Amino acid sequence: MVELKTAGEIDAMREAGRVVANALAAARAAARVGVTLRELDAAAAAVISDAGATPAFLGYQPDWAPTPFPGVICASVNDAVVHGIPTGQALADGDLVSIDCGAYLDGWCGDSAISFVVGAADPQDLSLIADTEEALARGVAAARVGNRLGDIAAAIGSFTRSRGHGLLADHGGHGIGRAMHEDPDVPNEGRAGRGMRLRAGLVLAIEPMLIRGGDDYRHDRDGWTLRTLDGTRAAHAEHTVAITEAGPVVLTAA
């Protein structure tokens, strides 16, 4: 069931979103060659704890997952697309890192993700990240009253394909509110003018996941991490976005 939020509830979600944005900023600031993914997790965890918020990912176990998620962030490096576990792996020069983070504050959830390179970057990785951010921006711009869900999906998917990238066809965004994952699903590829009509008060996590190579992926042995099948690198960007009469409002802006 799709739940619409009041203006006051959207204000409360913005506070949760701010905590997530700050946690991502802390993880990014901590990231450099030789630093471990676990250290990035600790940086984000400290921000969430200091804000009086609760991590949304830690202990999360959807029905497909073999174990509760062990981190505050997902840290997905290089060929890992999403759901990477923040292990003791140390960052190497040129690694493409995607960090996803969620938190609850006063009963409301925020969910956001960023991608960046540590050390000397391959220009193609920077291009992939820029395209992922542009795909997100186009999805956000389509999140308007009177549009349909398919307009968001088409905006993301058509741009992604025009740039020659792969994407995870069966993973995408979601409604968000008191729970991290609410209805509706928000696909990253689809047909404009189709699907649910967008109304004021709908809050969505929009999250393109782009791949330098093909669409195919595999599950890592850890049961969580999704990796590209061809070994090419992937990037992820996400914002929690409220649809209002005045247009889309990003609740997880940095």
Which of 69, 159 has the CB closer to Mg ion? 69
Whether the CB-CB separation of 18 and 109 falls below 8 Å is answered with: no
Which of 38, 174 has the CB closer to Mg ion? 174
Instruction: State in angstroms the smallest separation of the CB of 21 from Mg ion.
Output: 12
Within 107-146, the residues that bind Mg ion by CB under 5 A are 111, 113
Close Cβ partners of 144 (under 8 Å, ≥ 6 residues apart): 151, 198, 243, 247, 248
Instruction: State in angstroms the smallest separation of the CB of 102 from Mg ion.
Output: 6
| Alpha-carbon gap, residue 102 to 91, rounded angstroms | 22
Q: How many angstroms from the chain centroid is the CA of residue 54?
A: 18
Measured CA distances, 38 to 26, 31, 34, 41 (Å): 13, 11, 12, 5
Instruction: State in angstroms the smallest separation of the CB of 238 from Mg ion.
Output: 5
Instruction: State in angstroms the smallest separation of the CB of 88 from Mg ion.
Output: 23
For the chain, the farthest-separated pair of C-alpha atoms sits apart, in whole angstroms, at 48
Which of 71, 124 has the CB closer to Mg ion? 71
Instruction: State in angstroms the smallest separation of the CB of 215 from Mg ion.
Output: 19
CB-neighbour burial class of residue 133 (10 A; exposed 0-12, middle 13-18, buried 19+): middle
Nearest of 195, 202, 230, 205 to residue 216 by alpha carbon = 230
Which of 78, 115 has the CB closer to Mg ion? 115
9 binds Mg ion (CB under 5 A): no
Whether the CA torsion 127, 76, 230, 216 is positive or negative: it is negative
Which of 121, 196 has the CB closer to Mg ion? 196
Query: Residues in contact with Mg ion, total (CB under 5 A)?
Result: 5
Which of 115, 228 has the CB closer to Mg ion? 115
Instruction: State in angstroms the smallest separation of the CB of 172 from Mg ion.
Output: 9
Phi and psi at residue 24, to the nearest 5°: -65, -40
Within 52-111, the residues that bind Mg ion by CB under 5 A are 100, 111
Instruction: State in angstroms the smallest separation of the CB of 33 from Mg ion.
Output: 25
The 177-206 contact track toward Mg ion, x by CB under 5 A, reads: ----------------------------x-
Amino acid at position 161, single letter: R
The 31-50 contact track toward Mg ion, x by CB under 5 A, reads: --------------------
Q: What would the two tokens of residue 208 be?
A: 């393109």
Which of 113, 249 has the CB closer to Mg ion? 113
Interface residue list for Mg ion (CB under 5 A): 100, 111, 113, 205, 238
